[in-house]
Amino acid sequence: MFLQRFINLAVACLLGTVLLSQASAEGISLARIPHIYEIAIDPAAPDHLILATPRGLYRLTPDIKMQPLLDDSHDVTSLVVSDNGKHLLASGKKQNKPFGVLISADAGKTWQSQIMASDDAPALRLMKVSGPKGRLLAVGQNLMQSGDAGKSWTEAGKMPPASLGLAASRKKERDLLAATAKGLMSSSDRGKSWQPVSVGPGGKPASMVARDGQDTAYTFIVSAGLYAMTRNGNWQRRATADAFDGALIHLTGLKSAPGRLIGLTQYMKILQSLDGGQTWSPFASR
């Protein structure tokens, strides 16, 4: 699996770190969450989601119950989940101070702290796994990279101005996509340079870019809709904008479930598609 090297690094890096206490068993309602930074399907229980929020990290059940994985003192701005769902990486702030990267090797029951290279480094966001070796990418002050499961970070390049999203290929480490207020951008040199991508009507913002479990790229063009990249590199519209409650800001899928996608709108509505993004319905009724 493409995350196996990442998992091995994560386990190795746990040695000598500080064990954090488990999150409180008392949950919070989804309605009290003001924003969701990242959303992932739980591979160990595909009918559950994992949400990174300003008020903690949670597993969301199909009946919309929130099970805490990191308590509400953690402002979790970034999240990565391994293929088997056992290994989680999270980054963000606690009491307005960046906490670096936290690692769980037991699906979020307990956490251990990774110390970043610089104590004054910003909280990371848009953390992604890139390439077959499992290199981590994230956005801090610039585009950052880590080859040791988040223990240390170096600058990889710069993100385009007004970036809203980042997508990394699991097959080609150098290929990146960025959603920006001026449209979709691509890089073939791991973020050292960026070029505009022609998709949808020109001049419209790209509110989201992502790759699903099959490494298919998706982007949402504001007022136009959801587009997917075809095998020949062209972009094909899967759904018009009126199929959604506002713009999509996140999208995710599993390798083990082709065609199933979870999307998050700008108004924090969680949607589900079972046909590769052509039709959408609520994840579950609240």
Give residue-wise pLDDT tens across range 56-97. 999 999 999 999 999 999 999 999 999 899 999 999 999 888
- What local confidence, expressed as pLDDT, does residue 25 receive? 45
Across residues 141-149, what is the average pLDDT?
89
One domain, residues 151 and 163: no
Question: What letter does residue 85 receive in the DSSP assignment?
Answer: S
Question: CATH no. for residue 286?
Answer: 2.130.10.10
One domain, residues 3 and 128: yes
- pLDDT band (50, 70, 90) for residue 119: low
One domain, residues 13 and 139: yes
Strand 217-221: give its sheet, edge to edge: 206-211, 217-221, 225-229, 235-240
Q: Give pLDDT tens digits for 232-284.
A: 889 999 999 999 989 999 999 998 899 999 999 999 999 999 999 999 999 98
Mean pLDDT for the chain overall: 88
- What local confidence, expressed as pLDDT, does residue 133 receive? 87
One domain, residues 214 and 95: no
Query: How many Å apart are CA 243 and CA 274, to the nearest integer?
Result: 14
Cβ burial of 19 (10 Å; 0-12, 13-18, 19+) is exposed
Say how many C-beta atoms besides its own lie within 10 A of residue 162's C-beta.
11
- What local confidence, expressed as pLDDT, does residue 23 receive? 55
Query: How many Å apart are CA 159 and CA 19, to the nearest integer?
Result: 33
Note the pTM of the prediction, 2 decimals.
Answer: 0.89
Based on the structure, what is the number of domains in the chain? 2
One domain, residues 35 and 147: yes
Res 211 pLDDT > 90? yes
Query: How many Å apart are CA 46 and CA 148, to the nearest integer?
Result: 28
One domain, residues 143 and 172: no
One domain, residues 1 and 51: yes
| Neighbouring-strand partners of residue 132 | none
The token pair at 185 is 């951008």
- High-pLDDT (> 70) share of the chain, %: 87
Res 22 pLDDT > 70? no
Across residues 125-138, what is the average pLDDT?
92
Last residue of a domain, one of 117, 136, 155: 155
